[in-house]
Structure 1
Amino acid sequence: MNLSYLILILAATIGGGIIPMTVRRLHPNLPIYLLAFTGAFLFGITIIHLLPEVYHELGHTAGIYILLGFFLQVFLQQLSHGMEHGHTHLPPVQGQHHHVSITPLLAGLSIHAFMEGIPLGLQFTDQSALPSLALGVTAHKIPEALTLMTVMIHAQQPRAALWRILLLFSLVTPLAALLAGQLGHRSVLVTESLVYLTALVIGAFVHISTTIFYESGTRHHELSARKILAFAAGIVLAFLTLIFE
């Protein structure tokens, strides 16, 4: 496991979380276009690199685990209120802030973040898959952390608590990758299990990225020209990752 990938993911998560903590008036369209770009990028990497890998290893049974992963993400979304795709489904506002239970929200998003790190510990046969996946996860972390900290601010969490939440959350994915990589090197059973777990994560990625396509914070789910450009830029960048081969 290349530690530079994990450092990059860590930095992107912290950077994305710092934005709402330091910028008082964030342009409302910035998260929308950022989310559209990163969602398309993650979708492209999933289709181009990850799907061929798991079907090569698991054959037609890969589809079963991908489907399970898709609906696992549907369940996790009930806990995280959809923060993985930047479209929070929070309870109605009461007074000046959302009345939201922090514990299940953080639990759901942390489980998702842990799942994101698991494929980073897999030994891919396609040499371009790992760096491409690392870039996709890195890009996804920015709007994910931005949304998390925005919700925490609206929930009126103290400043010290905001930093603790951000730092702890930023460590989840890198630690999952390290754990998967270390255990995979020591056990053939774990190595084989990582392929099945990666198929589950692919299902979650498909759910998140396609939800971004249809939602991503817009009214009536319309497609503006700028949003289409953001999608196109993400897909083009995903194709450019083929240079890693």
Structure 2
Amino acid sequence: MIKSAVILFLSAFLGGILAINSIDIISKNIKHLLVFAGSFLFSVTIIHILPEIFEAGEDHLHVGGFILLGFFFQQVLEYFTDGVEHGHMHHHHKGEEGHTTLKSISLMVALSVHGFLEGTLLAHPGSVHTDHTEGTLLAGIIFHKIPAALALISVLACQYKSRKTQLILLTIFALASPIGVFTGHFLGDFGLLDSTGMVLLFAFVSGNFLHISTTIFLESSPGHRWSSRKLIISLFGAGLAVLSEMIF
């Protein structure tokens, strides 16, 4: 639990630190990283998360309903985040200065909610999932958080010139998922949420992941143009997810 929380924090925080000093270079090369992350995350959701929650859930209709709720809840969150959680890089436009504080608050709240929810997936309440598969799931979240941190810095760099402010907000973002990990364990260990409730919570978060990963695919091909490079990267990401599931 502690190890997973530390890794999640470092993946987001160090990714953001990297972006602070090289935002222009990263913005030109983030597309391929996003395709890989989206493919890996989608594959992990399909081969790991969904089978486990349907196997653990007694009512498949309820499980499917919460997956749909999570999918559309993520769409609502993106109204406030402008897609930062799936790697949208942003640039400053005239006339935005007066809305900086409000936009920053809504952005950080929405990102923190999303980060908190994905962190709960690494909890292990009873039969929902087992320790030997944690590596694949953790890797999927990490591959998703790094480009999200890069994109967040692109937003903060436009809104705040102070590095200190950027670092404070980046730290808040990086802490959200670790807090989710501890909360998930707490709810499970102390019986505050039974196994059925945890399955539905995981179904909800898997809906988030499906929305994020499929959105990455759609946005990586403007005009739906064919790209052999995108296909190769996508297959590599999916293959690595399958391989990770077999190894861990």
Regarding TM over 0.5, the answer is: yes
Q: Is the alpha carbon distance of 1:159 and 1:66 closer, same or farther for their aligned partners in structure 2, counting shifts above 3 Å?
A: same
Q: CA RMSD in A?
A: 2.3
Amino acid at match of 1:236: G
Partners of 2:118 and 2:205 within 8 A in 1: yes
Partners of 1:92 and 1:99 within 8 A in 2: no
Instruction: Determine the structure 1 residue equivalent to 2:3.
Output: 4
Worse-matched range after superposition: 93-102 or 153-162: 93-102
Instruction: Determine the structure 2 residue equivalent to 1:226.
Output: 229
Instruction: Determine the structure 2 residue equivalent to 1:161.
Output: 165
Instruction: Determine the structure 1 residue equivalent to 2:243.
Output: 240
Partners of 2:38 and 2:213 within 8 A in 1: yes
Q: 1:120 aligns with which of 110, 119, 122?
A: 122
Amino acid at match of 1:64: G
Cα drift, residue 189 of structure 1 = 3.2
Amino acid at match of 1:184: G
Q: Could you state the TM-score of these two structures normalised by the residue count of structure 1?
A: 0.90
Cα drift, residue 53 of structure 1 = 0.8
Cα drift, residue 98 of structure 1 = 10
Q: Which runs of 5+ in 1 are unaligned?
A: none
Cα drift, residue 191 of structure 1 = 4.0
Instruction: Determine the structure 1 residue equivalent to 2:60.
Output: 60
Aligned pairs for 1:104-183 within 5 A: 104-123=106-125, 124-183=128-187
Cα drift, residue 10 of structure 1 = 1.3
Amino acid at match of 1:129: T
Q: Is the alpha carbon distance of 1:24 and 1:131 closer, same or farther for their aligned partners in structure 2, counting shifts above 3 Å?
A: closer
Per-residue CA distance 1:166-197 (angstroms, 9 max, x = gap): 11211110111111102211116344322111
Whole-Å Cα distance in 1 between the matches of residues 171 and 147 of structure 2? 16
Whole-Å Cα distance in 1 between the matches of residues 38 and 208 of structure 2? 12
Instruction: Determine the structure 2 residue equivalent to 1:94.
Output: 94
Worse-matched range after superposition: 74-83 or 179-188: 179-188
Amino acid at match of 1:135: A
Cα drift, residue 157 of structure 1 = 4.2
Worse-matched range after superposition: 189-198 or 147-156: 189-198
Q: Which runs of 5+ in 2 are unaligned?
A: none
Partners of 1:49 and 1:128 within 8 A in 2: no
Q: Give % identity.
A: 35
Aligned pairs for 1:197-236 within 5 A: 197-216=201-220, 219-236=222-239
Per-residue CA distance 1:102-150 (angstroms, 9 max, x = gap): 1111111111111111111133344443221111111111000000011
Worse-matched range after superposition: 91-100 or 183-192: 91-100
Q: Is the alpha carbon distance of 1:44 and 1:98 closer, same or farther for their aligned partners in structure 2, counting shifts above 3 Å?
A: farther
Partners of 1:13 and 1:170 within 8 A in 2: yes
Aligned residues: 242
Worse-matched range after superposition: 234-243 or 39-48: 234-243
Whole-Å Cα distance in 2 between the matches of residues 152 and 223 of structure 1? 33
Partners of 2:38 and 2:216 within 8 A in 1: yes
Whole-Å Cα distance in 2 between the matches of residues 106 and 162 of structure 1? 12
Amino acid at match of 1:34: L
Partners of 2:23 and 2:154 within 8 A in 1: no
Amino acid at match of 2:235: A
